Amino acid sequence: MTYRVCFVCTGNICRSPMAEHVFRRHVEEAGLGGLVEVDSAGTGGWHEGDGADPRTVAVLEENGYTSAHTARQFRASWFPALDLVIALDEGHLRDLRELARTPEEAARIRLLRSYDPAAGTGLDVPDPYYGSREGFEECLDMVEAASEGLLAAVRLELEERTP
């Protein structure tokens, strides 16, 4: 059975596609590519159909990641098919919890940086959209730092599913 993870930010052109590509590579390098499906979406639909922000693409590609992406809006109807919904900041967390129709769906929503033990209490990945390229590089650093912990959590979930 495939384990499904969806990263969610505001418009699905900066933070969540970055997290999607970084985490997908971690999954593949761990040999879990056939067991874990990685995706992303936005809380809003303003950019549906667009590619990732060019700064996101540049930072990903310069760091050896893939970058192909088409933005889309998260739908409440997706919850039953997802094992984890990863919010990039507290606002997304709130929005997603409002979309959840059951306590079980709400329990699947987590903040990305909660998987980074060095994150402390600041668990938001700041939105780099209105800033400089430096913000996109900072975003990548935060996503990479949380990906190892997230991978460990997903691996544990997969092990618990195996009889």
Q: What is the CATH number of the domain that holds 26?
A: 3.40.50.2300
**In terms of residue numbers, what domain contains 41?**
3-161
Tokens of 123: 């668990």
Of 6, 9, 14, 139, the catalytic one is 9
Question: What does each C-alpha distance from 138 to 13, 40, 60, 90, 112 come to in angstroms?
Answer: 16, 19, 12, 18, 14
Count: domains in the chain? 1
Q: Is 15 known to be catalytic?
A: yes
pLDDT at position 151: 98
pLDDT at position 71: 98
Of 15, 24, 110, 113, the catalytic one is 15
Q: Is 108 known to be catalytic?
A: no
pLDDT digits (tens, 9 = 90+) for 40-98: 999 999 999 999 999 999 999 999 999 999 999 999 999 999 999 999 999 999 999 99
Cα 7 off chain centre by: 3
Of 4, 97, 127, 155, the catalytic one is 127
pLDDT at position 163: 72
Q: Is 55 known to be catalytic?
A: no
Kindly report the average pLDDT of the chain as a whole number.
97
Closest CA to 86 of 129, 35, 123, 56: 123
